[in-house]
Amino acid sequence: MKPWIQYYNGPVPYEYLSSWHKTLVKMNYMLVTSEVLSRLDDFVLRALIVMVVWRCSYRNVRSFYMTDVVVRWFLGECKSKSEIHRRAKGFREVFKEAFKEHVKELEGKLSALTDYLPSSALYGKVWKLWAVDSFIIEVPFGKRNRETLKKKIRLSLKQRKYRDLPKLLYQFVNCKISRRFKGEFTKKRNRSYFGFKVFIAISPTMLVHEIRVKLANFPDNEVDFFLSGYKIADRGFVGKTSTWLIGFPSFRRHVEFFGTFLKNYWRPYAVDREMTELFVYVIALIYNSSMYTSVLSRVPEAQLAH
Q: What secondary structure, in 3-state letters, does 168-226 show?
A: HHHHHHHCCCCCCCCCEEEEECCEEEEEEEEEEEECCCCCEEEEEEEECCCCHHHCCCC
Query: Nearest to residue 103, comparing CAs of 285, 257, 278?
Result: 285
Q: What is the pLDDT of residue 275?
A: 93
Q: What's residue 303's pLDDT?
A: 72
C-beta separation of 71 from 24 below 8 A: yes
Domain extents for the chain?
A: 3-139+190-305, 146-180
Compute the distance between CA of residue 142 and CA of residue 145 in angstroms, rounded to an integer. Answer: 6
The residues, any chain, with a CB within 8 Å of residue 1's CB and separated by 6 or more, are 301
Q: What is the pTM of this model?
A: 0.89
C-alpha closest to that of 117 among 129, 107, 127, 105: 107
Residue 192: predicted pLDDT:
86
Q: Smallest Cα–Cα separation from 62: which of 86, 84, 42?
A: 84
Report whether 47 contacts 109 (CB < 8 A): no
Q: Residue 151: what pLDDT?
A: 77
Instruction: Measure the CA–CA gap between 214 and 59, rounded to whole angstroms.
Output: 27
DSSP summary character for residue 129: E
- How much is the pLDDT for 24? 97
- Which positions of the chain have pLDDT values less than 70? 120, 122-127, 238-247, 304-306
pLDDT of residue 96: 93
pLDDT tens per residue across span 123-162: 665 567 888 899 999 988 877 777 777 777 887 888 888 8
Provide the pLDDT for residue 18.
Answer: 95
- Cβ neighbour number for residue 93 with a 10 Å cutoff: 11
CB atoms < 10 A from the CB of 190, how many? 5
